[in-house]
Amino acid sequence: MEVSFLDFKPNKKQKLFLESEYRYTAFGGARGGGKSWVVRAKAILLAMNYKGIRILFIRRTYPELYQNHITILESMTKGFATYNRQNKELTFINGSKIIFGYLLNESDADQYQGQEYDILFIDEATQLTEKMFDKVDSSVRGANTFPKRTYLTCNPGGVGHAWVKRLFITKNYKKGEDPKKYLFIQSLLEDNKVLMAMQPEYKTKLEALPYDLRQAWLYGSWDVFTGQVFKEFVNEPNESRKFTHVIYPFDIPRYWTVYRSMDWGYSKPFSIGWYAFSEKGVCYRIKEWYGCSKDEPNTGIQLSPIEVAREIKAVEAQDDLLKDFNIIGVADPAIFKSDNGEAISDVMARQGVYFIPADNQRIAGKMQFHNRLVFDEDGYPMFYCFNTCREFIRTIPELIYDETKVEDVDTSQEDHIYDELRYVLMCNPYVAKPKPVTELPKDDDPLNLREVLYF
């Protein structure tokens, strides 16, 4: 594509974006990578190159869109395009249109269903849920010869962090998603030579940030990000964290206590986790069953309570990790209610699967997990997860804070595993205690203890 009419020369990463003809192209990563300019340039180029094309340009709110893009696009296209504030459309002299819209919540996405657009731009895609993305992306269609593409800009973090990361970073595709249709262009501050020349102190400011923010904002890491709730959870060692919470499975001693914790779901996923507690109170997540559809995000597999209970009973009777234990079941108090018929807890009890009501205090449960994730001076935490619990490892790091309840987790996400984790931790509350002063053993000490155990 020719870009001679623009007053700015694209860098190598921006040029890749301008030239991309993939069905889905995402551009972003670090802050200061030049994504705002390149999406505006791409939209103009497409509008000018294809007479009569319809382009939809989306951001979370219209005021953000107007301030960050529309006013600048008006200036960039002066003389060959006109913006209509009432219709929120930028119309070019060749009949092409850029239509501007917003997606503040999932109901806003319904306005685009039934519409047809050739090109879709989503600015700050991680601010949208996967369902919002799917709905608006379904409008990219039409019986014409225009290209059908979706372009996204994104930074780590936000309610859509998980699905953007899945599609473009970890490339964990579902049925019907063609890996050949997706391209991610990682933009870094160093790629934006103009900003580096005009504001050389910007990099210094990013380098001075705490580790997590520095990794996300300077290096575009998708493993740590702003708004992440459980930053302490360590899957892999890194420059600031030598030890991890994820370990290989081992045989559980038969004198340990084992719990089964459940967060019920039918249309939404259910989550069942099995936990072992050592004699020192250390919690190990040893097994899981996550009832989530493989094809639909955050959607349940719609098994009945009887079916789930029968499977639980079979697993606990046959699995080498679980058999021969007297397992204690704990679950969301909601399953004990019988307002609309028989309580789920009673249905499962008839199958020989028993639960007691959990303490459902959200903030207290969240703090229990925070407390257990802390590594002591010797590098040991009070919580571990077997590496076979893949859904736990996937979903827990993606949780973000609620925008209004700032101390709580955003419940619009896949928080079902987190919920059943809270239930079991509240059954076994942990209070961090200071380590006592080491004492030498007395001659008459039969156990020859060198220090008091404090776990």
Q: Given the DSSP bridges, would you call strands 246-247 and 383-386 parallel, antiparallel or unpaired?
A: parallel
Per the prediction, the chain carries an average pLDDT of 88
Instruction: For 245-258, write each residue's pLDDT tens digit.
Output: 999 999 999 999 99
Lowest mean pLDDT among 24-33, 109-118, 251-260: 24-33
User: What is the per-residue pLDDT for 6?
Assistant: 53
Please give the pLDDT value at position 453: 31
pLDDT value of residue 366 = 96
Tell me: the pLDDT tens digits for 317-368? 999 999 999 999 999 999 999 877 899 999 999 999 999 999 999 999 999 9
Closest CA to 182 of 206, 151, 211: 151
Q: Provide the residue type at 400 as one letter.
A: I
Find tokens 């987190």 and name the residue: 418
User: In this structure, what token pair is assigned to residue 46?
Assistant: 């497409």
In this predicted structure, what is the pLDDT of residue 99? 97
Helical axes 12-19 vs 35-49, angle rounded to 10° = 30
The model's pLDDT over 188-236, given as tens digits with 9 standing for 90+, comes to: 877 666 766 777 777 788 778 767 677 777 777 887 777 889 988 988 7
- pLDDT score of 442 more than 50: no
Q: Round to whole Å and give the CA distance between 275 and 277.
A: 7
User: In this model, does residue 438 exceed pLDDT 50?
Assistant: no
- Contact indicator for 408, 363 with CB cutoff of 8 Å: yes
Write down the pLDDT at residue 32.
Answer: 67
pLDDT, residue 434, reads 62
Provide, rounded to the nearest whole percent, the portion of the chain with pLDDT above 70.
90
- Distance in angstroms (rounded) separating the CA atoms of residues 100 and 243: 47
pLDDT of residue 238: 59
Contact 122, 136 (CB under 8 A): yes
Which of 31-35, 131-135, 141-145, 377-381 is the least confident region?
31-35
Instruction: Return the CATH superfamily for domain 12-217.
Output: P-loop containing nucleotide triphosphate hydrolases (3.40.50.300)
> For 372-388, how does the pLDDT look when each residue is reduced to its tens digit (9 = 90+)?
999 988 889 999 999 99
SS3 for the chain is CCCCCCCCCCCHHHHHHHHCCCCEEEEEECCCCCHHHHHHHHHHHHHHHCCCCEEEEEECCHHHHHHHHHHHHHHHCECCEEEECCCCEEEECCCCEEEEEECCCHHHHHHHCCCCECEEEECCHHHCCHHHHHHHHCCECCCCCCCCEEEEEECCCCCCHHHHHHHHCCCCCCCCCCHHHEEEEEECHHHCHHHHHHCCHHHHHHHCCCHHHHHHHCCCCCCCCCCECCCCCCCCCCCCCCCCCEECCCCCCCCCEEEEEEECCCCCCEEEEEEEECCCCCEEEEEEEEEECCCCCCCECCCCHHHHHHHHHHHHHHCCCCCCCCCEEEECHHHHCCCCCCCHHHHHHCCCCCCEECCCCHHHHHHHHHHHHCCCCCCCCCEEEECCCHHHHHHHHHCEECCCCCCCECCCCCCHHHHHHHHHHHHCCCCCCCCCCCCCCCCCCCCCCCCCCCC
Q: State pTM to two decimals.
A: 0.73
Among all chains, which residue has been given the structure tokens 């594509």? 1
- 235 burial type by CB count under 10 A (0-12 exposed, 13-18 middle, 19+ buried): middle
Residue range 429-455: mean pLDDT, rounded: 48
Q: What local confidence, expressed as pLDDT, does residue 441 receive? A: 42
Beta bridge partners of 271: 263, 290
Position 41 scores a pLDDT of: 94
Return d(Cα 226, Cα 212) in angstroms, integer.
Answer: 8
Distance CA 411, CA 402 (A): 7
pLDDT tens profile 157-173 = 888 888 999 999 989 88
C-alpha R_g of the chain = 26
Domain boundaries, the chain: 12-217, 246-427
Task: Note the pLDDT of residue 404.
Answer: 84
pLDDT digits (tens, 9 = 90+) for 65-98: 999 999 999 999 999 999 999 999 999 999 999 9
Q: Tell me which residue has tokens 């459980």.
A: 230
pLDDT at 168 (0 to 100): 95
- Place 2 in a pLDDT band, splitting at 50, 70 and 90: very low
Note the CATH architecture for domain 246-427. Answer: 2-Layer Sandwich (3.30)
